[in-house]
Structure 1
Amino acid sequence: MIDLDIDMRQYDCPFIDTTDDVDVAFSAVQWQLDTSDEQLETRLIAKGVDRGALEEGLRVLRNHPNMNDCYILSKRENVAQIGTTIEQTNAMETIQQNDGYITGPFQIEDGREQWHVGFDDDEAEDRALAELERHNDYQVENRDHFGATTLFDLLENADSAMQLLEGCRSLTETERETFEVASRRGYYETPRATTLDDLADHFDVSKTAVSMNLRRSERKILKGALSALNELDDELT
């Protein structure tokens, strides 16, 4: 399987047009393409910079000529879960007609959309990308080629990967930045290429503050890693 991460700008997509006009972003959590009716049904999370931006974004989205239906499932402050039905876009039709398939959620912000698309062979991929270029603006940001064994291993260990991912997501912005800078500067190498004093000078905080941020980030990541290892152990026994 060939898996592509594509930065896409479609010229007939209601979500992209809306994020062009309003400071709102969309993340698709469920989708279903009805090829017979040439429509895409989706469940998305819409998030505005504030409540006003969310309301304006939903208004603009409903009024888009390619939007057939848009309704709110739940809403709180500047975040809403919505359901939509849109006309099939050129890009969706191109992927479908060239034996491609969606492998991950759509993410739309600032007039661009992140697509995760799969193909079974190079010929289908080349054909689809050539056709996409005629009516869309896109850039392939990442390309992975998975064999059957690798793909099976990824699917089988998805829960373990999520445990590790959740550990990383639990870091605060300060903890993450401190951990990343310390790693890049060689704090975890032997011998160490940087010290707590160096890091304290870099962040303009006390040595104690740097040490505490590192310990908290290490503890959270280690907790996620141990949870992932436990998941792997359960699968092997």
Structure 2
Amino acid sequence: MPQAKLTLSIPEKTWIGDLSRSYSEARVRIVAALAGEASGVGLAEISSPNLPDLIGEMTAYDEVTDVDLLQEYENEALIQFETTMPLLLFAVQDSGVPLEMPFDIVDGEAEWTLTAPQDRLSQLGEQLDAFGVSYTVDYVQQTIESGQLLTDHQLELVRTAVEVGYYDTPRTSSLTELAETLDIAKSTCSETLHRAEEKIVKQYLDEISSMPEQ
């Protein structure tokens, strides 16, 4: 399934865009968010050397109807807020694309990583255009859902092989050492690893062949 990374430029005169541009050194990490028909609620981790001023200015926006400071430590705070203008959520909710959390907003720009069918990503692009949110596509790539592709035992073996350097060039761990690390027979290790590699390679080639030609 396609995975895309977008960098969105939040329109001028939008409260979250203006706030993050005013405090360009700050990072607003949206941890959770929920939009209704006319408002939205969000949970945000905010880090800034001017945190008190930022929070004070945030509460002053007419579009921000409620701000609760849940935790604060030095230059970081966890805040729950409610707004009548959750622009980014409005833009995504009609596209059928699930918005992956968390995502960061820095200096008026948000970075999204999305996994959805190509037609849904196209619908999202149309929604962003309709709401006046300009964006760039950093990449679109096919993903291999290895957690579903492999059994738990195969996935553990492949992960361990990567961690100990079995796939490094030059190789820093032998098949014998890999088997010893997992406390399994060398023959079992070899056969299990081969079956996992076969699944991964075939799935990868299937995904590549299904991609439209550039």
More helix by share: 1
Q: How big is the alpha-carbon RMSD for the aligned residues of Structure 1 and Structure 2?
A: 3.5
Aligned partners of 1:104 and 1:117 also within 8 Å? no
2:139 matches 1:142: yes
Structure-1 residue corresponding to 2:2: 2
Q: What's the TM-score, normalizing by structure 2? A: 0.62
Structure-2 residue corresponding to 1:215: none
Q: For 1:28-177, what aligned pairs fall within 5 Å after superposition?
A: 28-29=30-31, 31-35=32-36, 37-48=37-48, 50=49, 53-119=50-116, 121-134=117-130, 135-146=132-143, 149-150=145-146, 152=148
Aligned in 2, Cα 1:145/1:104: closer, same or farther, shift over 3 Å?
farther
Once the two structures are superposed, what CA deviation does each residue of 1:57-94 show, in whole Å capped at 9, x if it has no partner?
A: 11121122321211111112211111112235343223
How many equivalent pairs are there?
162
The one-letter amino acid of 2:139's match is N
Aligned partners of 2:35 and 2:90 also within 8 Å? no
Aligned in 2, Cα 1:18/1:90: closer, same or farther, shift over 3 Å?
closer
The one-letter amino acid of 1:3's match is Q
Aligned partners of 2:95 and 2:127 also within 8 Å? no
Aligned partners of 1:13 and 1:66 also within 8 Å? no
The one-letter amino acid of 2:91's match is T
Cα deviation, residue 39, structure 1: 2.8
Gaps of 5+ in 1: 165-187, 191-225
Aligned partners of 2:2 and 2:142 also within 8 Å? yes
The one-letter amino acid of 2:94's match is Q
Q: What's the TM-score, normalizing by structure 1? A: 0.57
Gaps of 5+ in 2: 163-167, 171-177, 183-188, 193-214
In the alignment, the residues of structure 2 paired with residue 126 and residue 153 of structure 1 have an alpha-carbon distance, to the nearest angstrom, of 27
The one-letter amino acid of 1:68's match is T
Secondary structure of 1:59's counterpart equals: helix
